[in-house]
A and B are shown apart, each in its own frame.
Chain A
């Protein structure tokens, strides 16, 4: 079955710097890759996603890139702000039922003012 590895597990950056979180997946049939953000004590929320027919997607300060050949995808946050501090989870669709996502272990991002 699908396996998703996520790195790093923790990341600390200064406000204004960029942050990059990387994930790899094992199942070449996976075709949907969402990123969820979970602020402390709150629910995970989708922040951006990408499908396998595109290589990059951008939404303001957030971008995701996908390399299907290498089976890895990355989240890029530019001009980080303290409110970006949260746990970020990548995921891949296993090809099973709708919504059966395989998540990475999460990256705790701390943005220092």
Chain B
């Protein structure tokens, strides 16, 4: 069974440009999360979808970040316009909704470098 997949694995853009990250969760996982790790710091929660609805977006840093999960399948995270401090690794994770055990299944991350 395929795990959580993320695309692109690495993106280098200039300040002011736009980047869209994509996450495909494990099939059947209604919970989908976005996390971010800035170099050397903690993995920080951004938001949580249950199916297509935003359950918790308390970690979204500002309105330059827009997450969507149309149809409750894959999700996108758009950063527009990107700033230098947005650089980091963006992780997507998914989990079951019914029968949630606490375990999150992470993707390998999308590394974003803003120059």
**Which residues of chain A have a CB within 8 Å of any CB of chain B?**
4, 32, 34, 36, 41-46, 49, 89, 91, 93, 96-106
Count the B residues whose beta carbon is within 8 Å of the partner chain — how many?
Answer: 29
Q: Which residue of B lies closest to A46 (CB)?
A: B103
Given A96-B56, A96-B58, A4–B42 Cβ distance below 8 Å?
Answer: yes
**Which residues of chain B have a CB within 8 Å of any CB of chain A?**
3-4, 31, 33, 35, 40-45, 48, 50, 55-56, 58-59, 91, 93, 95, 97, 100, 102-104, 106-109
Cβ-neighbour of A100 out of B4, B48, B103 (below 8 A): B48
| A42: chain B residues within 8 A (beta carbon) | 108
Q: Beyond A100-B33, A106-B43, list 11 extra A-B contacts (CB 8 Å).
A: A32-B102, A49-B103, A96-B56, A96-B58, A97-B55, A99-B48, A100-B48, A100-B56, A101-B43, A102-B42, A105-B41
The distance from the CB of B35 to the nearest CB of chain A, in whole angstroms, is 8
The distance from the CB of A23 to the nearest CB of chain B, in whole angstroms, is 11
| A106: chain B residues within 8 A (beta carbon) | 42-43
Assess whether B48 is in contact with A97, with CB atoms less than 8 Å apart.
yes
Cβ-neighbour of B91 out of A44, A49, A96 (below 8 A): A44
Given A97-B48, A98-B31, A103-B44, A43–B100 Cβ distance below 8 Å?
Answer: no
Q: Which residue of B lies closest to A105 (CB)?
A: B42
Instruction: Find the residue from B48, B50, B102 having the highest chain A CB count within 10 A.
Output: B102
* Alpha-carbon separation in the docked complex, A46 to B108 (Å): 14
Assess whether B3 is in contact with A43, with CB atoms less than 8 Å apart.
yes
| B3: chain A residues within 8 A (beta carbon) | 43
**A-B complex: 6 closest residue pairs judged by Cβ atoms:** A97-B56, A103-B43, A43-B106, A103-B42, A43-B108, A44-B106
* Alpha-carbon separation in the docked complex, A34 to B56 (Å): 20
